[in-house]
Amino acid sequence: MHLARLRLRDFRNYTRLDVTFEPGFHLLLGRNAQGKTNILEAIYLLATLRSFRGVSHADLVRFGQKGFLVAARIVSTATHDVRLYCSAHERRLTLDHQPVRRLTDYLGTLRVVVFCTEDLQLVKGTGRNRRRFLDLLLTQTQPDYLPLLQRYMRALRARNALLKQSAVDLTALDSFTAELVNCGEEIRRRRQELVPALAERVRSAYRRIAGTAEEVRVSYQPSVRTDFQVELARVRTRELARRTTLLGPHLDELELTIQERPADAFASEGQKRSLALALKMAQAEFLTQVHGAPPVLLLDDVMGELDQQRRAAFLPLLERADHARSQVFMTATEESWPRELGRRLHRWRVENGTLAPLPGVPG
């Protein structure tokens, strides 16, 4: 799988961009605030329909403009043209020139894994970051997972709206509770099946990255331990008093420990960085196994922050992408780009919202 063409109109600091890409390594070189990360963000947006920076679509529109366009040609087992236009009043998504009616018909057209500074929040941040990590991986590997998650969230929002009323309609509450339980049990089951396979890859990646025998544990901790219906009935009085749903997959946790101690509270900054990197490497390896081909890798100034040992542990993942004729997009400054990959790099200069090839393509 690779991105063969990218078009941007009024996206971030890009007025207009039309560029073609070959499979392989692409290094985006430039000073800070020139638009390097914006290229990665546009690619990620096409794959997931969201920004990895956690901002809304409105924040992606170039200053003073009404909307933005991101379009691409994607080559895998087939060739697809995708187009996303967003403004304050509309969002139009097309696949092969046809409107996308259901996200399940679109997601998976382009598969990516991004490595960025925000990844530290997988370890340091709240459980919501780790739940989203699990849900994204399930969405990338199981086409029917996203509709299931959407059904759960609709039932949760409706149930919470009822609980906030001064006089709660208990019949309606029971109806939404049934939907919540039905979807919630299936979400819990799928997460529980995913985590052991993911955990083994995280442990292996962490050992390669950190170069230590530290014991890393990744485990799923659901807020519901037995029967979801029974446990909701048990806490109903508390829910009515607090006016919110107190149990369910929206509150579950992916627990990360190093040497049997919670990583968020006790790990050093170096350990946290290694664990975050191991989680994303595990994501890429799992996607490769499931789909039989590597995803496109997006590295936002990550290699420059790694010491020699961590770079060496990271290189096999990049090599596999290269051998499978996938792609790796990396941002860096002149000082931080990974010179051990130099002879195989397509080099690009990014300056003030423009992109131009540099001499020195792969030999």
The one-digit pLDDT tens for each residue of the chain (363 residues) are 899 999 999 999 999 999 999 998 899 999 989 999 999 999 999 999 999 998 999 999 999 999 999 999 999 989 999 999 999 999 999 999 999 999 989 999 999 999 998 899 999 999 999 999 999 999 999 999 999 999 999 999 999 999 999 999 999 999 999 999 999 999 999 999 999 999 999 999 999 888 888 999 999 999 998 999 999 999 999 999 999 999 999 999 999 999 999 999 999 998 998 999 999 999 999 999 999 999 999 999 887 777 777 777 878 887 777 777 789 999 988 766 666 665 578 999 999 999 999 986 544
- Which of 22, 34, 15 has the alpha carbon at shortest distance from 331? 34
What pLDDT was estimated at residue 276? 94
Residue 300: beta bridge partners? Answer: 331
CA 281-282-284 angle, 5° bins: 65
Q: What residue spans of 99-168 are helical by DSSP H? A: 121-124, 127-141, 145-163
Q: What beta strand segments (E) does 144-234 contain?
A: 216-221
- Which of 175, 155, 153, 173 has the alpha carbon at shortest distance from 163? 173
Q: Are 86 and 19 in contact (CB under 8 A)?
A: no
Tokens describing residue 72:
């691409």
Tell me if the pTM is above 0.95: no
Strand 2-11: give its sheet, edge to edge: 14-20, 2-11, 67-75, 79-87, 91-95, 98-99
d(CA 273, CA 282): 14
What pLDDT was estimated at residue 43? 98
Q: Are 312 and 281 in contact (CB under 8 A)?
A: no
Tokens describing residue 24:
């392989």
What pLDDT was estimated at residue 336? 64
What pLDDT was estimated at residue 220? 97
DSSP state at residue 61: B
What pLDDT was estimated at residue 80? 97
What are the Cα distances from residue 149, in Å, to 179, 192, 241, 248, 294? 12, 15, 27, 12, 25
What pLDDT was estimated at residue 327? 93
What pLDDT was estimated at residue 362? 46
Residue 85: beta bridge partners? Answer: 69, 92
d(CA 354, CA 13): 9
Q: Are 139 and 132 in contact (CB under 8 A)?
A: no
What pLDDT was estimated at residue 338? 63
